[in-house]
Amino acid sequence: MAPVSFGTFRLIVVSLAVFAQIYLFWRIRHAMRSSRGSGRRTSLVVALTGVAIGILFAANWRIMSAPVPWVDPPTLAQAVLFYAPAVWSFGSIFSALLLLVAQGIGGLAKSADWILRRRSAPGTAEPANPERRLFLKAGVGGLAAAPFLLSGYGAAYAARNHMAVEITLPFGCPLRVVQLTDIHAGIFMTRDMMRRYVEQVIALNPDVFVLTGDYISNSTVFFPGFVEEMARVSAPYGTFATMGNHEHWYGAIGYYRELFEKKGIHLLQNEHRVIGTGHGRFAVVGIDDLRWGNPDLDAALRGLTSSVPALLLSHRPEIFPEAAERHIPLTLSGHYHGGQVKVSLFGEDYSLAHLRTPYPEGLYRSGSSHLYVSRGIGTTFTPVRLNAPPEVTLFQLT
């Protein structure tokens, strides 16, 4: 199956979201009028419900489509202004889809029941059972509420319940490397949240600390705080970074480079650094974002001999086949968040990211080369993570 383009992906999500708002409003309106009649009070409640749905959806659309440069908003403001619209909009898509499926099944069941009643002898058909009808309504209500509960869980708990992943790989020079990626500093990744991740990185005592893109969500106003937090990590052989697509969408490369360099973080744009250790030399190589930047692996590797093991930083993992052809021992990437919302069935993982790339998350190998795609720590489009927890990754290289 060919990967789904970003434009197609965005169109699918927006179409589903708009459909969900219309369909859920129609279902709520129908349920209210069926249970309470069509009086003036019911009409007012229906109208207010429609307004509430519209406000929640519009607020989330505003958050997704335009920068919200509010650094470290109060917790109550975060919950009411940002998380509530996001949870509603994300949950509404799956709630609408589940209700639509239930409606289809219910329609088929009614058709089958009608056929059986027509075939039954007069007077033998069972009368309608009010308790059964109430039970079915309660079941449908629970079905509709489940996605909102999962969405709330994913935003309030799972997105913060990160894990440390430790991987041992051959490299050619003993090193402890810690990777963070896809931080997406913004209203859903505050400085306090970043500080907690940095504390864990410091506790892992890395020789090299690497950052592989998407440092902000949608405004450069959050970048200085991000850089200050990352600069708290003092790795003996340095901290290195490369650009992601969000950096190209917002701001200029010169701006990012200047702030990085002020804090001692080395931005690698199609270039490399060779570092000497007591066990030999190694190189850190960085290339620009594969889609929105100007990636040039030839320039990044120019002057680097095969005797020096190279650690390649690329925000997107699709560079891996080319990296493997050049026998680069290890490529570190991110971008896809492990799907961010992922369903695992029968040993297979399903998410929008799994439709878009052959490298959504985890470890891959081609000959003597390895690729690791981190799930990152931040979120995009929605602050919800389900079955794809954030990660801080430690590589024990030998």
DSSP 95-154: HHHHHHHHHHHHHHHHHHHHHHHHHSPTT-SPPP-HHHHHHHHHHHHHHHHHHHHHHHHH
Superfamily the domain 164-397 falls into: Metallo-dependent phosphatases (3.60.21.10)
SS3 280: strand
Look at strands 175-180 and 348-350 and give their pairing: unpaired
Torsion angle in degrees (nearest 10) through CA of 387, 389, 393, 398: -20
Query: pLDDT by residue (tens digit) across 23-42?
Result: 888 888 877 777 655 677 77
Task: Compute the average pLDDT of residues 224-234.
Answer: 98
The amino acid at 237: Y
pLDDT, position 204:
97
Instruction: Give the distance, in angstroms, between the CA of residue 285 and the centroid of all CA atoms in the same chain.
Output: 26
Between 227 and 52, the higher pLDDT residue: 227
Residue 7 confidence (pLDDT)? 67
Q: Is the pLDDT of residue 357 over 90?
A: yes
State residue 128 phi and psi, 5-degree precision.
-60, 140
Amino acid 241: pLDDT: 98
Residue with tokens 């239930």: 102
Q: Render pLDDT for 318-337 as a digit per residue (tens, 0 to 9).
A: 999 999 999 999 999 999 99
Outline which parts of the chain fall under CATH 3.60.21.10: 164-397
Give the pLDDT band of residue 104 (cuts 50, 70, 90).
confident
Mean pLDDT of 56-68: 84
What is the rounded CA–CA span in Å between residue 280 and residue 307? 10
Instruction: Encode pLDDT of 363-381 as tens digits.
Output: 999 999 999 999 999 998 8
Mean pLDDT, the chain, integer: 88
